[in-house]
Amino acid sequence: MEEKKLAIIATKGSLDWAYPPFILASTAAALGYEVQVFFTFYGLQLLKKKLSLEVTPLGNPGMPMPMGMDKWFPILGMTLPGMQAMMTAMMKKQMKDKGVASIEELRELCQEADVKMIACQMTVDLFDMDQAAFIDGVEYAGAAAFFEFAGESDICLYI
């Protein structure tokens, strides 16, 4: 049986959106897939050695809030300084309590499973990002390189 291939484009850099690419990549690798994840734009935040990902309830009416805050707390209240940090801390605690892996852990499992992580060179230049801030093993490439793998993939996801 030939190895199946999964190609993912990760474009988002918030704590909640960091989960789908790493969960799917690590699980696919465990199932025997060859996996490549192409990180572009805000998705590049997921490659930083020191992750400082946050979650925001702003512009996200689907986010369940503690103590029914979404029902009685005005949206504008979410813009107060410290709200995002507080929401992030609460989300992280909830995840830990429920036995959900941290992004660091899932990313490490991806690395162990030889998931290839590719950073979009154009975005790295655009945002003047320092390659030294990224984890080891990251490759730098562009759209054409992505298609070389994605064109042969069995599953291709844009996240």
159 binds another protein (CB under 8 A): no
Question: Phi-psi category of 86—alpha, beta or left, where left has phi over 0 and alpha has psi -120 to 50?
Answer: alpha
99 binds another protein (CB under 8 A): yes
The least CB distance from residue 22 to another protein, in Å, is: 9
- Which of 124, 128, 122, 127 lies closest to 143 in space, CA to CA? 122
21 contacts: CB under 8 Å, gap ≥ 6: 8, 10, 37, 43, 46, 157, 159
Contact track, another protein, 5-24, x by CB under 8 A: ------------------x-
Q: What is the length of the chain?
A: 159
2 binds another protein (CB under 8 A): no
Give the one residue of 14, 16, 20, 27 binding another protein; rule: CB under 8 A.
Answer: 27
153 binds another protein (CB under 8 A): no
Q: Which residues form the interface with another protein (CB under 8 A)? A: 23, 26-27, 30-32, 98-101, 109, 112
